[in-house]
Chain A
Amino acid sequence: MAETVFDKKIVLVTGGAGFIGSHLCEALLKTCRVICLDNFSTGQEANIDHLLRHPEFEFIRHDVNAPFDPEAFPELARFKVKFQGIQEIYHLACPTSPKKFEQHRIQTLYANSLGMKNVLDLAVRYKARVVHASTSVVYGPRPADGHLFKEEEQGSTDTLGLRACYDEGKRFAEACCATYEQAHDIDVRIARIFRTYGPRMPIFDGHMIPDFITNALDGTDLEIFGDASFKTSLVYVTDVVDGMIKMMAQPEDAGPVNIGSDLDVPIVDVANRIIEMTGSSSKIVFKDSLLFLSQLGLPEIAKAKEKLGWIPLVTLDDGLKKAIDYTIANKTLLTGFRSFGE
């Protein structure tokens, strides 16, 4: 790296107030200074509230689609970005919302092109290493034969559909990473993240699990968007964060790496387990499936094991328990968002 690293690395996290981003900021703060960028399009201020007073944390409210000059922000002066530069960038910013997907479609296109470009331009400027948070959707829908997606799988998504702005956008963002790497000799790593759950997952937004918990605690129906055959892989958020940090730390770029769970779990089982764990009397009901909440495929995770020494560690029971505890602790706060969410 070009700049002298002082006592701590400076790390930029785009989308740092989002579900995964906020957990990542938290983990990074143990060893780094963190600049968290978010415009709250689908991230939440509440996710980073507890970090705002941390001396090594600085939040900048900024839309990643607009060029970002860290040296123009007086609040970053204390990090001495001008002298120390930025060593690492985690790029997570992209609107995600199963329920309000449609209203974010143009912003989704921009995040995957303009936003990606702005991040890569910063990486070129500071010779920063980048971990780009990509997604399992680049492989296309869950395959009929049920095979696990390997990183080499070429994938096929529909360029002309309602989901194209996200699915195709994420593929394009990866292609931008590869192109910048080839043209500018920077180091950009691609983490393909599969379905993740845990505390701070947005509520009432179609993500199912956080709503299951809220509904179970309230004694209201748990809604499954789909039928009893809906299965999915689920990885706990701190495992994902751990995978991304391990990916950044590798001396060599191993190419795209899947980060997710290779266990296929019926969503009905998850719902039942939540009812059990909360001692709830709620029932499960089935609703129409959501276009932006598909079953998704499962990852082959041999590469993550081999190259990163990573495997998912948190069991579904432990993860659900933490998510339930979080919901109980923040219930008033969380359900207060109901009016915003709908």
Chain B
Amino acid sequence: MSPKKPVFSRKNILVTGGAGFIGSHLCDALVKEHHVICVDNFSTSSVANIEHLLQNPNFEFINHDIVQPFDLNEFPELDRFKVKFQGIQEIYHLACPISKRHFEDFKIATVLTNSIGVKNVLDVAVANQSKILYASSSVLYGPRTPDRPFVSETDPCVFDHLTSRGAYDEGKRFSEAILYTYQDVYGLDVKISRIFRTYGPRMKLFDGNLLPDMINNALEKKDIELPYPEDARIGLSYVSDIVDGLIRHMNSPIDVTVVNLGSDQEFLLSSVAAQVIKLTESSSRVHFEPVEHRHGEAGLPDINKARQVLGWLPLVRMEDGLRRMIDYSRAQRQLTSHFGQH
């Protein structure tokens, strides 16, 4: 292995999936102090999420599908970050197609991203001796069971890997296995953040995501239809809290491998909807129309490890988070009013 590269002024940080919902917020936070190289292919993300960063001298965007191998030395636009000399200090690997509504269309891309994609990113990490943080997911634990409302990092992961969701769920598990193996074989500093349900601005509309569609309907004064029973509860954490957790995790000691990041508090879905209606001063009504969910909801995270080891806990109150999301949705609606006919 080559010795660690010197850092000139700012760290060089690679964010894969940096144009996605969480990725773009992460880029926003990192670019204040570092050089950020954002890699994305917009398969399920949007250029609108990073448009405001494109003029930032400390930000560089590379349109690339990580399923294809890549060598950051080959991009002349990265010369100004002195990548050839300074290398890459940290990699946040978030890239993975995610679309509730168009999941089928991205199945093959999803299995490939969760195997070859992870390998390609790890090969960059090995070449640069970068620390690498992988955005894993709560799906890994399998659905919630009555005897296990909270899941901790050491709990077993139990689910059927041959369902139509296997490309994603099993893919995430295999990704973790690849990371762990590389850590062991190549001595990489590997972090795995298992992220639970997150909300905030830039979440995709009309893609089967609960909150953005709820807010959109409230703003349009349309009825809000929730495919859950009336007493359904959800855990939600605001995106800036998650970003803060990811950065803390990246900067934690080498032996902190797996950490849950999410909120361990649950809200009645009906009260979340009521709050959205109140904050948007909407006249929408809420209908609960339970459908059989083939895949149960994830449990809530046990976040003692994040608290103790990272000094992290979710801070943003639901009302504040919803308010920011509503402000964003209002602004977006004005920008893209011609899409409003969905």
Contacts and interface: CB of A to CB of B under 8 A. Distances in A.
A183 B177 CA distance: 25
A179 interface: yes
A39 B213 CA distance: 52
In the complex, the 7 A-B pairs of residues with the closest C-beta atoms, listed nearest first: A113-B115, A172-B174, A175-B170, A168-B177, A175-B166, A164-B177, A159-B176
A178 B166 contact: yes
Contacts of A247: none
Contacts of A164: 176-177, 180-181
A171 B257 contact: no
B170 A161 contact: no
B293 to A, nearest CB: 17
B115 A178 contact: no
Nearest to B163: A178
B162 A113 contact: no
A284 to B, nearest CB: 33
Contacts of B184: 105, 162
Chain A interface residue number, banded: 35 or more
B167 A113 contact: no
Contacts of A182: 104, 107, 164
Interface of A: 105-106, 109-110, 112-114, 117, 138, 154-162, 164-165, 167-169, 171-172, 174-176, 178-180, 182-184, 255-256
B159 A154 contact: yes
Interface in B161-203: 161-164, 166-167, 169-171, 173-174, 176-178, 180-182, 184-185, 192
A286 B135 CA distance: 44
Contacts of A167: 177
A113 B158 contact: no
B93 interface: no
18 contacts: A105-B185, A113-B116, A113-B174, A155-B158, A156-B156, A158-B156, A160-B176, A160-B257, A165-B177, A168-B176, A172-B114, A172-B170, A175-B166, A175-B169, A178-B163, A182-B104, A182-B107, A184-B108
**Which secondary structure characterizes the binding site on chain A?**
helix
B301 interface: no
A240 B162 CA distance: 23
B34 to A, nearest CB: 28
B90 to A, nearest CB: 21
A159 B140 contact: yes
A174 B107 contact: no
Contacts of A175: 111, 161-162, 166-167, 169-171, 174
Contacts of A168: 173-174, 176-177
B164 to A, nearest CB: 6
A156 to B, nearest CB: 4
B299 interface: no
A160 to B, nearest CB: 4
A155 B163 CA distance: 14
A155 B158 CA distance: 6
Contacts of A112: 174
Contacts of A183: 104, 107-108
Contact of B119 (A113, A161, A255): A113
A106 B173 contact: no
